[in-house]
Amino acid sequence: MNLYNRLSNAESIEILEKSGEERLILSFYKYFKIKNLSIFRNYLFSSWSKIGVLGRIYVADEGINAQLSLPKKKLSSFTSELDQVDPLKGIRLNFAIKNSTKSFLKLKIKVRKQIVVDGIQDKNFDPTNVGKHLNAIEFNKILSEKGTSCIDMRNHYESEIGHFIGATTPNVDSFKESINFIDKKFKNENRNKKILLYCTGGIRCEKASAYLKFKGFKNVFQLDGGIINYVHQLKNNNFKNKFIGKNFVFDNRLSEKITNDVISNCHQCGSKSDNHVNCSNVACNLLFIQCDRCNESLNGCCSIDCLNINNLSLEEQKNLRKGEKTSKRIYKKT
């Protein structure tokens, strides 16, 4: 059996459209020791591809981080597959607020050194000794307490479009930078200080809370299930929502609207906007915020230079890209 998806995006879209199946978007993570990564990775690909799973999954010897979609009718089959792996049996799944057929186009399961790159060098660090998990109501209570420091453990381009009221939103591009930020921020802080952490689904807070405990902090708390779980609890319970704006997500949707507040601006003209796009020039692919007016005038490009390249024929664009290495690029916050 082929253990890699060889379809193009166009072919995947055609298959998804023809199927007409309703799909669910979900995510989960788990820190646990994996001995043979290649065997584990291939096992997941083989079993999940048979039930139509698409998504981006990272496995490392420290655990798994999964963001995926699957046919709604296959959910029970998927949970049964998860139950075949002891550490994943009964694992909580974070379901998206809104679903989309084309959130993911391929099944990609990649072996990494870490499921979340942290930059922590001390071999005595124990990522399993984590802070206290809080439900949404408990989170709100501690957030409102005087003296609590609430830190958004996401990247700046995520918190820019939405965050909890009163939270510190570091100007960082990676989780590794977030670890450096909290290291410096709390270096000389009282070890009894209350520190409240949150992220999208919980995986980054899990490791960050363990790091703060490793540094001697006694009162470390994290939002259980992250923003995604918070919003689901918000819908099912009567309590005040303290999150404003959108929640950034790492699939083709790019965000989920939580409130109608637009707290960010177009990176080109400065008008109010919270729509993330990738530059239409595939050689650039810059992730940035663009309002509808700029999107129309620049055809989804981040600059005039990219617009000019995007207006060239596909053959001319390919010739320009020859020998060039492209990687994920994001708008840098000044």
- Would you name the residues annotated as active-site residues? 199
Answer yes or no: are the C-beta atoms of 331 and 287 closer than 8 Å: yes
Q: How many residues does the chain have?
A: 334
Sequence-separated (6 or more) residues with CB below 8 Å from residue 78: 48, 51, 53, 70
- Report how far apart, in Å, the C-alpha atoms of 63 and of each of 87, 121, 173 are: 9, 18, 23
CA angle 193, 195, 199 (to 5 degrees): 175
DSSP E strands: which ranges in 74-127? 94-95, 107-111
CA distance 200 to 152: 9
CA distance 38 to 117: 19
- Report how far apart, in Å, the C-alpha atoms of 98 and of each of 22, 95, 155, 225 are: 12, 9, 22, 17
